Structure 1
Amino acid sequence: MAMDRELVTCTKGDGFWTRRILCTIRRLVRLSAKSSTVGNMAVLILSISCIDGNLLNAFYHAAPSSEIIRQSSMNSTISSVIFKDYDVTVMLFHSAYLVDIEQTEKGRVMKLDSLKNGDIWKTMDVLVFNSWLWWYRRGPKQPWDYLQYRSKIVKDMDRMFAYKMALRTWTRWVNSQVNATSTKIFFQGISPSHYNGSEWNEPGVTNCLREEQPVDGSTYPGGKPMAATVLRSALAPVRNKVQLLDITLLSQLRKDAHPSRYNGFKSMDCTHWCVPGLPDIWNQLLFASLFS
């Protein structure tokens, strides 16, 4: 409950952008041929990322609606908020890797060339995807035991290569299954972390604890993360269907915007972001993209 109260406080100022995003989604649906078959209801699917959870809670707490219905699936894979006044349903679909993780006799296997959830996603009016944060997690936080690509199953592999293979599977699904005339697709770019001070010209610094100012200028000394290059390359075959929400550079400059030690996990957090703050800018970029 403490987290809920904090989110209410942090997102009160987001009501304006919440209303504009909801109205824009509704307008897009009503202008599309698909809207007549779904009762003027847009469905926004969000994969796992900071923007997604914050935006869903911002919608729930800030949207001025006389009737709001919040739902969640039994296994918490899908959370949704229905806004009756706007004829809009916003869904958060927890799929950290986009591709499938299946329980087998061998254990939990992540199949880099399988994407069964796509049968649900392709029916939506607006899709916002993201996948990167969890790819290098190991130990108890890693939700799989083996990786499979085609017929080969391995205990582990180069994580960047695995990420690339998963993205290729996703782009093939987009090309073969999604109708771009009735579904708008966005992919949120790579969200960076700040644990290496050499990247912002402070050698020896190993976290964001005492960072109180953004990086000066409009370039990041450490350059673009490899994952951002991999993502942009993967999206090239679907550039006519998918719009990249490129948040990487503007987020790299905000080394001061992390919770650092001020979080509920009692550990240094230079990966997630404070609310309100940088995620508000991400939401504004999403609104601008929807409106355009």
Structure 2
Amino acid sequence: MVQVWKWGRRRSTFPLISLIFMLLITATILFNEFKIQHFHHNQSSDHHLHLQHTLNFSPVELDRFTTCSSTVKYSGREVGWGGNHRYLPVSDGEKECDVFSGKWVFDNTSYPLHNESHCPYMSDQLACHKHGRPDLGYQYWRWQPNHCNLKRWNATEMWEKLRGKRLMFVGDSLNRGQWISMVCLLQSVIPAEMKSMSPNAHLTIFRAENYNASVEFLWAPLLVDSNSDDPVNHRLSDRIIRPDSATRHLSKWENADILVFNTYLWWRQGPVKLMWSSEENGVCEELDGRPAMELAMKTWADWVDSYVDPLEKRVFFVTMSPTHMRSQEWNPERQGNCYNETNPITQENYWGNDSDVPTMRMVEKILSRLGSKVRVLNITQLSEYRKDGHPSIYRKFWETLSPEQLSKPESYSDCIHWCLPGVPDVWNELLFHFL
């Protein structure tokens, strides 16, 4: 035994050096790993704190009574999201058909998909036939993609997709129109005792108990917090936003399963005033609509980038809805707007001047950096053709019209919103197609 021990001592010099060397390497690796983890922990904590500041910190809530103590020139300040350069995943199989490129086909056999008078939730702003529109042709147009077919609408199948889920539309009155369209498309298959609608509020909810599902609308016309967030009293001459905070809205939308966002129209009404979350004295900066919209979009994108897992939450962004304010654009010999228009535009790739290309490029750039976290519903081009689809004079107007206005129907025609049944139903067919 002694010999063994001595042999072991004599032969252990090199292994001992190796052991010490290995221990040093291991210690170095563990130390570096600790530094890396500590760095990532701090980075994660810093980002979390940044999001808390960007998205959740709002010392004074804006409302319709909020005013600026003074207004100064925009300082150039940015919100804290630069985005990542991502690209949409490419399928290994057949290339996905472009359902946004196509034409409108008259189809009075399978359309309309619902009946205006049979939907108890129809809005007077969109019920064109009820308010005297004599022609019904606007209800019978089907969108036909060039090289494929849209998935045929099926209300029961849609409810199965929504079973146990919350579908929420977030945005302005155009998104509210799409929400009403969706409710009207779905409500007829739900027994009366199984469906309910909450009162009009910041968040309005249609619920189907037998599917444990809801279709909701959140009024957030500028996406970020603003003085126009009251769903009724929001027609203010001065728009004031918190470009770095969406606290009021995200507290409602963050737990929805399927989200459909839009924003655009309210950014086209002159300069916007910015009141940053850190501002305590009511001082505002002033900025034109498009760059102000870009700030708001980045704050929204920061939330999507940080909190949306595409495997658990589906997010859609609806591109701008076109208007038809000047009939010279589709008929140079005619002065007017969408009033008395009864047929779509047939000119291929028609593009109106009210469709703001620079704004759409800005939105496209931001969405591209979110990659597969957001699916774009590109309704702009297909809706451009539908000069006939607006309420025009056939809707309820909240303001009293003067005799002079009444004598000139074009002066008060609504060429922004859409009649139902009509164009927004097709937007929802697109949503159904991608779900």
2:213 corresponds to: 88
In structure 2, what is the Cα distance between the partners aligned to 1:269 and 1:19? 33
Kept in 2: contact 1:20–1:287 (CA 8 A): no
- Once the two structures are aligned, what percentage of the paired residues are identical? 29
Which amino acid is the alignment partner of residue 52 of structure 1?
Answer: W
Kept in 2: contact 1:135–1:163 (CA 8 A): yes
Kept in 2: contact 1:198–1:222 (CA 8 A): no
Matched, 1:63 2:63: no
In structure 1, what is the Cα distance between the partners aligned to 2:120 and 2:258? 29
- Identify if the C-alpha distance between structure 1 residues 5 and 258 changes in structure 2 by more than 3 Å, giving closer, same or farther: same
1:7 corresponds to: 122
Stretch of structure 1 that moved more, 45-54 or 215-224: 215-224
In structure 1, what is the Cα distance between the partners aligned to 2:120 and 2:208? 21
Q: Secondary structure at the match of 1:173?
A: helix
- Identify if the C-alpha distance between structure 1 residues 204 and 110 changes in structure 2 by more than 3 Å, giving closer, same or farther: same
2:383 corresponds to: 251
Larger Rg: 2
- Identify if the C-alpha distance between structure 1 residues 251 and 99 changes in structure 2 by more than 3 Å, giving closer, same or farther: same
2:181 corresponds to: 54
In structure 2, what is the Cα distance between the partners aligned to 1:221 and 1:131? 20
Which amino acid is the alignment partner of residue 148 of structure 1?
Answer: M
Which amino acid is the alignment partner of residue 45 of structure 1?
Answer: M
- Identify if the C-alpha distance between structure 1 residues 136 and 155 changes in structure 2 by more than 3 Å, giving closer, same or farther: farther
Q: Which has the higher contact order (CA 8 A, sep 6+)?
A: 2
Kept in 2: contact 1:82–1:88 (CA 8 A): yes
Equivalent in 5, 20, 44 of residue 167 of structure 2: 44
Name structure 2 gaps, 5 residues minimum.
1-116, 130-139, 141-152, 229-237, 402-411
Equivalent in 252, 262, 275 of residue 120 of structure 1: 252
Equivalent in 342, 345, 366 of residue 212 of structure 1: 342
Per-residue deviation, 1:43: 0.6
C-alpha root-mean-square deviation of aligned residues, in Å?
3.2
Kept in 2: contact 1:47–1:130 (CA 8 A): yes
1:129 corresponds to: 261
Q: Secondary structure at the match of 2:267?
A: coil
User: Structure 1 length normalisation: TM-score?
Assistant: 0.78
In structure 2, what is the Cα distance between the partners aligned to 1:42 and 1:52? 16
Output one character per residue of 1:57-113: Cα deviation in whole Å (capped at 9) or x when no partner: 4434x232351132247xx1011122111221222111111101269xxx9841011
Per-residue deviation, 1:218: 2.8
In structure 1, what is the Cα distance between the partners aligned to 2:289 and 2:428? 29
Output one character per residue of 1:164-206: Cα deviation in whole Å (capped at 9) or x when no partner: 1111111111011222221011111110101123432536634
- Identify if the C-alpha distance between structure 1 residues 217 and 97 changes in structure 2 by more than 3 Å, giving closer, same or farther: same
- Identify if the C-alpha distance between structure 1 residues 93 and 221 changes in structure 2 by more than 3 Å, giving closer, same or farther: closer
Kept in 2: contact 1:115–1:170 (CA 8 A): yes
Kept in 1: contact 2:319–2:377 (CA 8 A): yes
In structure 1, what is the Cα distance between the partners aligned to 2:333 and 2:363? 28
Kept in 2: contact 1:96–1:134 (CA 8 A): yes
In structure 2, what is the Cα distance between the partners aligned to 1:210 and 1:221? 20
In structure 2, what is the Cα distance between the partners aligned to 1:232 and 1:127? 18
Which amino acid is the alignment partner of residue 274 of structure 2?
Answer: L
Kept in 1: contact 2:318–2:379 (CA 8 A): yes
Aligned residue-pair number: 261
1:33 corresponds to: none
Name structure 1 gaps, 5 residues minimum.
27-40
Matched, 1:193 2:323: yes
- Identify if the C-alpha distance between structure 1 residues 264 and 108 changes in structure 2 by more than 3 Å, giving closer, same or farther: closer
